[in-house]
Every structure is written in C-alpha cells, then in structure tokens.
Amino acid sequence: MVTTENPDTSGAPSLKALWYGPLVGLVVPVLAVVAALAVGAVLLLALGASPLTGYAALIDGAVGDWNAVADTAIKSMPMLLVGVGICIAFRTGVINIGGEGQIILGAIFATLVALAVPDLPSVFLIPLVLLAGAVGGAIWGAIPGALKAYAGVSEILSTIMMNIVAAQILSFLLQDLLIEEGAIKIQQTRRLSHNADLPLLPGGTRLHLGFLVALLVAVIAYLLIYKTSLGFRLRAVGHSPDASRYAGMQVKRSVVQALALSGACAGVAGAVMVFGSISHRLIGEGGATAFTQGAGFNGIVVALFGGLHPLYTVPASFLFGGMLIGGIELQRELQVPAALIVALNGVVVVFVVSSLRLKTKLQRWSEDAVLRRGRK
C-alpha cells in the first residue's frame, strides 16, 4: 500500500464498472416485475382465469393503441413528478411521505392564482399556475423539513400528518370559500379560466402539456442533483451529515431545501392534475385521495423502482402507470374481482422494493470485483 508513483488511471477495467452498475440497475427491476407477474399468474389461475389472456389484456389496455398510451402517460405524470421529488429528498437522506399533501397544496395554490388572475393570457398564466403549484408544494415540504432540522421531528411522521392537514384544508376550502355557486352543493370549484388549460399535444389523444412539464422536471432534477453545487451538498448531506458538517456545510439548511424541492415537484403535479383534467376544476368530492389518485404514495414506489434516479424514474412511472391502466382492461376482460388488480399491484411493489437490496448487493459486488482486477 506504500506508493510514491503516480495514480494508476488506466481506465479499461473501470469502464466496465461504469456500464455494469446501470445494467444491474435496469435488469433487476425488470426481473422483479417478471417475478411479480409470475406470482400474479398463480393468483389468476387460482381464480380460474387464464393468465395469458389476462396479461394480453393488460398490455393491450396499457399500450394497445395511442389512446391507451396517452392514458398510461397521463396516469404516470403525477407519479413521475412526485417520484422525482422523492429522489431529491432521498438523495439528501430524508424520506418524504408527504406527496399527497404537497399535491393538494400545489393544486390549491395553482387554483387560487387561476381564480385571482383568470384573464391573463395563457403564455403567462400557465407558467404562473405551475409555479404557484410548486410554491404551494414547497411550503408544505419545507414545514416538515424545518421541523426535522431544527426540532428533530421525524420527517416520516410529520409528512404523513401534513397529508391529513392538507386534505382537511382542501375540504374546508371547497365547503364554502371556493365552492361553485349554484343550486347543487358539490365540493368543487367552478370551471377555472380557459387561459390556464394545459393545451393538448398533437396526435389526437388526451395527452396534454403536463406530460412535457413532467419530463422537464425530471431532467431539471437530474441536473440539480448531479451537476450543481447545491445538489453536491444535498448528496453529501444524504450520505454523511457528519462529514458534511465537518466540511463546513449547513446540514440543517440542506434538509429544509431538500424537502422544499421535493414538495415543489409534487406541487407541480397538483397543478397539472387540476389544469390538465377533463373538468378543469379543483374537485374535493370523494375525499382527498380521489383527487390525488394516490399519486403521492405511488410516486414513492415509482421512485424506488427507478433506483431513486430522476431519469430512471421516467420509465418506472410508465411501467407502473401501465399496470394501473392495463389492470382495468384485465379486470374487464376476465371479469375478475377488482381486488385482484390491487393485489397484483401490491405484489409488484413488494417485489420491486425487495429487489432494491439485491441490486445494491450486486452492484457493490461487481464494483469490488472490478476494483480488485484493477489493483492487480
């Protein structure tokens, strides 16, 4: 181990490590899904249905035609946005279970802006409502962040609590203040300004601008985490708060920043879900989860599935969105109980999450193997 020579920077063996890592990162989740589908096949067989027909229906429902693809994309969008936020938080070593609440606050802020300045031209109003959504989500993320940093409150607990508070705020606002005026009291706003409608993308499907926004946010998050000095600090704090503090970083501030950024991503999802919806209203009917469609929680699974990397989270969200959309078709085709789809999704989650451990193990192993070869 004693040396005075120059560093050995021959790249050959290490290049292998560079592609091997991501390869494992890609193969293991796919295997997890295959394994989950295999278990699902057993469930289908137990119900007397043909797994082959079932999965054909699932694929058909998810990506059978362009409309199906668009539906899958629309379903994936909020999960992707929340998932990207989860990536940022996780890289900083904080866990954000508050996606639901952050979506709702984002939606409320965006709605308020649209109600306040409905006549602004679309070019200004659309970015403005998206920004308002981000701000709402960021505030809802920063509060647990500050509680964790300065009062030592577990962010896991506080973000969950904040979900409930957000749901109550939504319900409260739609009872009275924001409710559409009319004879029938439905918990929803009036149709919001047309200028804020997210325009449909060409192709004749329901797919709208929100899709591009989600992709853009994923790319921005990627750049932020890996290419900026802010991201450097967040990652440093995530790996080792001690070493970061010794190096002169402000660890507490980083924690607040991470949860605020994480919340901002979910907040954008909230805005997109209001202005990209068919009704173009903020709807509270059926409870908060009816509005968020559980994206705040599913986003966590999607992020884990994507290896907590913002770019890998894109395909991961599609896969999961496809499962949800295709599952509807499967259920219709085979006439199996709806609970089966829930179970199937659950199985996927279990397999994906447990595959993470295997993945890290494999990556570590390959890394070490390459390293040893490099040393010889």
Answer for which of 185, 191, 194, 227 binds another protein (CB under 8 A) is 227
The H or E element spanning position 32 is helix 12-46
Q: How far apart are CA 225 and CA 235, in angstroms?
A: 7
Is residue 13 close enough to count as binding another protein by CB under 8 A? yes
Asked if 310 and 221 count as a contact pair (C-beta separation under 8 A), the reply is yes
Shortest reach from residue 4's CB to another protein, in Å: 5
Contacts of 133 (CB under 8 A, 6+ apart): 106, 107, 109, 110, 267, 268, 269, 270, 271, 272
What's the rounded Cα separation, in Å, for the pair 346 and 354?
A: 12
Q: Please tell me whether residue 8 binds another protein under the rule CB under 8 A.
A: yes
Q: Which two tokens stand for residue 334?
A: 């085979």
Amino acid 74 reads I
For residue 67, report the phi and psi dihedrals to the nearest 5 degrees. Answer: -65, -40
Q: Among 30, 52, 243, 358, which residue interacts with another protein (rule: CB under 8 A)?
A: 243
Measure the CA dihedral 247/251/257/263, to 10°. 130
361: contact with another protein by CB under 8 A: no
**Which is closer to another protein, CB of 1 or CB of 339?**
1
With binding defined as CB under 8 A, does residue 250 bind another protein?
yes
Phi, then psi, of 207 in degrees rounded to 5: -65, 130
* 235 counts as binding another protein under rule CB under 8 A: yes
Helix (H, G, I), strand (E, B) or coil at 208: strand
Per DSSP, the three-state class of 242 is helix
Q: Which is nearer to another protein, 4 or 335 (CB)?
A: 4
Residue 1 makes contact with another protein by CB under 8 A: yes
8 A C-beta contact, residue 169 and residue 104: yes
Least separation in angstroms between CB 375 and another protein: 7
The answer to whether 16 contacts another protein (rule: CB under 8 A) is no
From residue 184 to residue 223, what is the string marking binding to another protein with x (rule CB under 8 A)? ----------------------------------------
Stretch that binds another protein, among 1-9, 35-43, 55-63, 96-104 (CB under 8 A): 1-9
Cβ contact 327:72 at 8 Å? no
- Asked if 360 touches another protein (CB under 8 A), the answer is no
Tell the smallest beta-carbon distance from residue 142 to another protein (Å).
Answer: 20
Contacting range for another protein; rule: CB under 8 A; set: 43-51, 59-67, 343-351, 362-370: 362-370
User: Could you say whether residue 246 binds another protein (CB under 8 A)?
Assistant: yes
Question: Which one of 132-140, 245-253, 316-324, 325-333 is the stretch in contact with another protein (CB under 8 A)?
Answer: 245-253
Q: Retrieve residue 266's tokens.
A: 């979910």
The answer to whether 129 and 117 have CB atoms below 8 angstroms apart is: no
Per CB under 8 A, the list member of 47, 249, 328, 343 interacting with another protein is 249
Residues that bind another protein (CB under 8 A): 1-11, 13-14, 18, 227-230, 232-233, 235-236, 239-240, 242-250, 367-369, 371-372, 374-375
